[in-house]
Amino acid sequence: MSVSGEVIMAVTLNPALHVSYTAGGLSADGINPVSRPAYRAGGRGITVARVLQAFGHDTVVAGLAGGAGGELIKEDLARTGVATAFTQILGEPRRIHDFAGPDGQILRFGEPGPYITTEELGRFAADYRRLVMSAAAVVLSGSLPDGLPAETYGTLVTYAADAGVPVFLDAGGEELLHAATHKPDLVLADDRRVRGDASLGSTLIRLGAGAAVVAETRDDLVRVITEGQEWVADVAAGDVNVTTVSARGALMAGMVPGHLLGWSWPDRLRHALALAAVWAAETEGSDQLDKTAYEQLLTKVSVKAAA
């Protein structure tokens, strides 16, 4: 099922370095001893690349990374065979610190991302346009770091479209609405990130997106809207929050091969939702995909045309 011989580029402009500790207990008095840290690369685009790689697709992660944290992100991805082509910047990536207590509770603290200069953005744009020329598809995912305008994703969509490369976008807020006018092939959104619009998918199509995939938090449904069709999918008798970072990245990853191979929308949705459910259930830090569980879940994904 892999897209043989073709590389899918996953772009993460604001990658994160997850730093995990195990704590014996947490107290406001004195110093709380913790284990030595474990490091893992994170961010929605990196999740996309991990899932695609685990399912046998050739991937490369591009984006912005610098400093010691950037090197740790590259090292972590290299250990799992995911190729990287980051543009070097001066600032350190944001770090997300996880402290796991003996009762299983995890406290999570997130740092702000780096500020990106105009010169750094210009170098990334040149690297991106070069990489796009040899890509089968481009996936743009996640938040924008400080210093980048909301129009950034729209410009990157245009560069890919000009090269004849399909482009998939997972963003929120103003960045999503602006980029939709540049006609990406598919956008992924959820009803938390763009508020005040009861028909988000239709709005994105009207703005110019080829297809809109909307993850609905209330009912754990995934809705696909195109110019002439609308489909609704869910995992029957399952409890899958399709808006978590891991499930969302896997959902987007699952949409790409079906587009490139010309699958029907029901088949794309079954594949993507089964992937999202399996990946979300994996142990944190795993890069393995339980393909047996995936095959079983394919039969449990309900897809129907919207009324």
Q: Would you say residue 186 lies in a domain?
A: yes
Q: What's the CA gap between 136 and 234, in Å, rounded? A: 28
Q: Read off the pLDDT of each residue in 178-183 and give the average, rounded to a whole number.
A: 96
- Report if residue 245 sits inside a domain: yes
**Alpha carbons within 13 A on the beta-carbon side of 48:** 31
Rounded Cα distance, 254 and 268, in Å: 7
Q: Which long-range contacts (CB under 8 A, 24 or more apart) does 53-56 make?
A: 53/80, 53/81, 53/82, 53/287, 54/287, 54/288, 54/289, 55/1, 55/2, 55/253, 55/257, 55/275, 55/289, 56/1, 56/2
Q: Would you say the C-alpha torsion 150, 153, 154, 155 has a positive or negative sign?
A: positive
Q: What pTM does this model have?
A: 0.91
Task: Name the most confidently modeled range: 93-102, 119-128, 195-204, 265-274.
Answer: 119-128
- 3-state SS assignment for residue 138: strand
Q: What was the pLDDT predicted at 145?
A: 93
Across 69-73, 92-96, 139-143, 301-305, least confident range: 301-305
> Which residues neighbour 271 within 8 Å (Cβ) at sequence distance 6 or greater?
254, 257, 258, 263, 298
Evaluate whether 158 touches 176 at the Cβ level (below 8 Å): no
pLDDT grade, residue 279 (50/70/90)?
confident
**251 in a structural domain:** yes
Could you tell me the strand order of the sheet in which 106-110 lies? 38-42, 16-22, 94-100, 106-110
| Other Cβ atoms within 10 Å of 4 Cβ, number | 9
Q: Is residue 27 included in any domain, yes or no? A: no
DSSP state of 14: S
CATH value at residue 252: 3.40.1190.20
Is 297 part of a structural domain of the chain? yes
Domain count for the chain, please give it. Answer: 1
Q: What pLDDT score was predicted for residue 241?
A: 63
Q: What is the DSSP string of 63-132?
A: EEEEHHHHHHHHHHHHHTT-EEEEEEESSPPEEEEEEE-TTS-EEEEE---PBPPHHHHHHHHHHHHHHH
pLDDT at residue 283 in the model = 52
In a domain, 222, yes or no: yes
- The pLDDT-based confidence of 12 (bands split at 50, 70, 90) is very high
Does residue 109 form part of some domain?
A: no
Helix axes 67-79, 44-54, angle to 10 degrees: 20
* Domain containing residue 250: 7-14+43-90+114-305
Q: What is the arithmetic mean of pLDDT over 178-188?
A: 96
pLDDT digits (tens, 9 = 90+) for 36-94: 999 999 999 999 999 999 888 999 999 999 999 999 999 999 998 999 999 999 999 99
Token duo for residue 282:
């994996």
Q: Any residues with CB less than 8 A from the CB of 64 and at least 6 apart, and which?
A: 13, 14, 15, 86, 87, 89, 114, 116, 120, 124, 145
pLDDT of 4 higher than 50: no
Q: Calculate mean pLDDT across residues 254-269.
A: 94
- Distance separating alpha carbons of residues 155 and 181, to the nearest angstrom: 10
Q: Give the tens place of pLDDT for each residue, 206-259.
A: 999 999 998 875 556 788 999 888 998 887 645 566 667 678 889 999 999 999
Q: Does some domain include residue 33? A: no
